[in-house]
Amino acid sequence: MDKKVLIRKAAPDDYSSLAELAAQLGHQEEPGKLRSRLLSLLGQPDQVIFVAEFEQEIVGWVHGYLYNFLYLDLACELAALVVDQAHRQLGIGRMLVDAIEKWASAQGCHQVSLRSNIKREEAHKFYKAIGYDLRKTQHIFEKDLNK
**CATH number for position 29:** 3.40.630.30
User: pLDDT tens digit string along 51-96?
Assistant: 999 999 999 999 999 999 999 899 999 999 999 999 999 999 999 9
Segment among 27-36, 69-78, 124-133 with least mean pLDDT: 27-36
Whole-prediction pTM: 0.92
The answer to whether residues 134 and 126 touch, using CB atoms and an 8 Å cutoff, is: no
DSSP SS3 for 81: strand
- Residue 142 forms part of a structural domain: no
- Residue 78 forms part of a structural domain: yes
- Provide the domain count of the chain: 1
Q: Which domain holds residue 83?
A: 5-129
CA torsion through residues 111, 141, 79, 97, sign: positive
- Residue 136 forms part of a structural domain: no
User: pLDDT tens digit string along 110-122?
Assistant: 999 999 989 989 9
Length of the chain: 147
